[in-house]
Structure 1
């Protein structure tokens, strides 16, 4: 038992170390001017997508459910936190305001995930995917008609711009389909630290997911994924554990939405469509379902690759598609998996021989 725990801890620290090494390399290249301005601008969005991929892997990889509404939770976290940042911009300093905004985004997304998960997680397979996709679109369209403003009397909410009545000097925050503007300008004094903040949030997301997976509840979640009937027969509350994973996944997606919203000068709900949910799913599948390190690597490569290949002009997307196919074959082809297993066994054998010597 002790050996297993040591192995688990070692794997967790390897994942943390990998993230820190990537951060150190990117930060060094950026500070020395060896990273283009375009790629420097991608650093924070990469953190956003990595967090979203980690959260989706908890549902798809460890819980075994196919969710296509992840962008909806990200949208809720983004908008809830952005509204708070605008309301509290003149009252709370930047750093504590951002921390509270992150907590609010996570809490609102978690609450929505919990409420949606209660009826949805009774479904399975394709039915669950279709319903989560529908919920994601419903959330997007509801926020699309939302108008929110603030004045001396507090917050005002309406479903049309004409119905929003504000006192002179009041500020309109959400402008329907036009979204929320100037959120990033509220954090101009800490804007240079957003990449560091993003990496910290990636590490926190990894810590939460890895500790959940290795806990008693996490083992119940994976047992349910492997054999639902067997799990129920030994007294595991399947719905409860799946709801726990779904809620935590939604909360982490909300955190990704917070970072996304506060890194942009203009936040529009049209970004959070089903294509974004499919993008997260592609990162999870290509990185390896249930493989957090793989999700991180796949997200970094696939998000940055179109910009890195921009010099190839018309062949850019062709090369991108070929690389996606190669990644898929490397992760899922039987021959490639056997090759990886043989290489891993050789490294383990070499390590044991070195320790014995």
Structure 2
């Protein structure tokens, strides 16, 4: 089988790229190693930047977003037992974000792709990508018990940091920059209504906490925990008690989260990485295959979306004009935005989390930075602009 674009990975990046290409009459094949049920149930991000929502709408897959998504015009920062709201719309010229779970984005994209898109093969395990700098490269995969080969004009790796596609780029031709953080998140899904209509980010001496949501009836909550934490060591009551303690504010000492059954809990590592370049020959990297950010800045899904938006534009431009100019610029174009998002995620993470080794001096610096964000319109506007999403080049 031959196609113009072979897409490895059926997550949001690969599926959105397939949709954008389908709308431009560029053929593609998407290979996903997991089954459909698994892909549609992976719990991931839930904050969509304005540009990501706009892309879903222009691709014709925004019915769910527009019907069920919750527009958020700001966030609340809690620190030093006080609460401070960052008003996105006032600070950015009416930009906002949308709360809509990544699982729902994936379901919407899969449903549309299976109706009128190019082939989307589940349980198609890619074994190798050969000839990254040849014409055409070949993708070898196992599907329905048979070894098969897909040749492509271009291969796009949307298969994550540990996926096959990164290894198609010789080690001598790529550099990965990485940072690990000395803490993790314990995340839960709870059948309980959110306590507030926007996200709450809390800095406390006990560690960071985040109150988010998946729907008006389901809360998504996180606690900073040590890296070696076992979720089994955190029974539900302990989690709720700790959340209440970290979100406490002096103006309302009786403030409590509304509790409910916890349907899932997991420990999420915090790390950053960027692989450069994001292109080698006819192989392109997108999403987690090229970069990872800690979730504090809500950038992972949105960076993946911006990558494939840039790539789709470049592929469409080549088809229409015959010029590879935008394809040649893909890596540099994306990396400018990637590094800005990496820095913003680092800023949010280090400002809000308590490093196990930090001194009292370090804590005072954090509080000083938080006070500046809360009280300076310039600092608040910088945070709001980055959180709602910078323009996609």
TM-score range (shorter-chain normalised) is under 0.3
**Which has more strand, going by share of residues?**
2
**Which has more helix, going by share of residues?**
1
Structure number with greater CO (CA < 8 Å, separation at least 6) is 1
